[in-house]
Amino acid sequence: MLHTLRPSPGARQRRKRVGRGISAGGGKTAGRGTKGQHARAGKGRRFGFEGGQTPLLRRQPKLGGFRNPHRIVYQVLNLERIEQRLEAGSYNLETLRSHKLIHGTHPVKLLGKGTLTKKLTLTVHSASKSARRAVEKVGGRIDLIKRQNLTPNT
């Protein structure tokens, strides 16, 4: 049954071939109009061309700047979090990690937000001046880890 289905007569028209002589019906200009850029053969307009108006891509500002691919990304540890979670004592990266104060492999920088009342010895990669002052004020100490390469994956 399905193999006998055919389109109705006249439902499918043949494609009209243009540019094959005036008597063929689509000759001479072949549907392209007369003269002008669109009537010509060849490349046409480039991508983004807006007809003489300054194109969108050229109207955008030229943004400068530089992003250092070797910058050191520290994970921040503030004194207020240490004050909340730790007792007086000595702490290195492993103990800070076990207390869930740091995570991952990024180097750790101690910052001075908050106040400190406990005597601590902290071993970190870097510390701000205010953090140093606060720790030393209560009799503590900050030991810095000297590393050749402070990229996250070392």
Tokens of 93: 């990266």
Task: Report which of 116, 111, 63, 64 is spatially closest to residue 86, judged by C-alpha positions.
Answer: 116
Give the range among 7-21, 38-52, 63-77, 99-113 with minimum mean pLDDT.
Answer: 38-52
Give the whole-angstrom CA distance, residue 38 versus residue 44: 7
pLDDT at 36: 86
Q: How far, in whole angstroms, is CA 56 from its chain's centroid?
A: 23
Q: Which helix (H) or strand (E) covers residue 25, if one does?
A: none
pLDDT at 150: 53
**Structural domains of the chain, ranges and CATH numbers in brackets:** 75-144 (3.100.10.10)
Q: Residues 6 or more apart from 91 whose CB is under 8 A from it? A: 99, 120, 121, 122, 123
**pLDDT of 102 strictly over 80:** yes
Q: What is the mean pLDDT of the chain?
A: 90
Predicted structure pTM score: 0.57
pLDDT at 12: 94
16-70 tens-digit pLDDT: 899 999 998 899 999 999 998 888 888 788 899 998 899 999 999 999 899 999 8
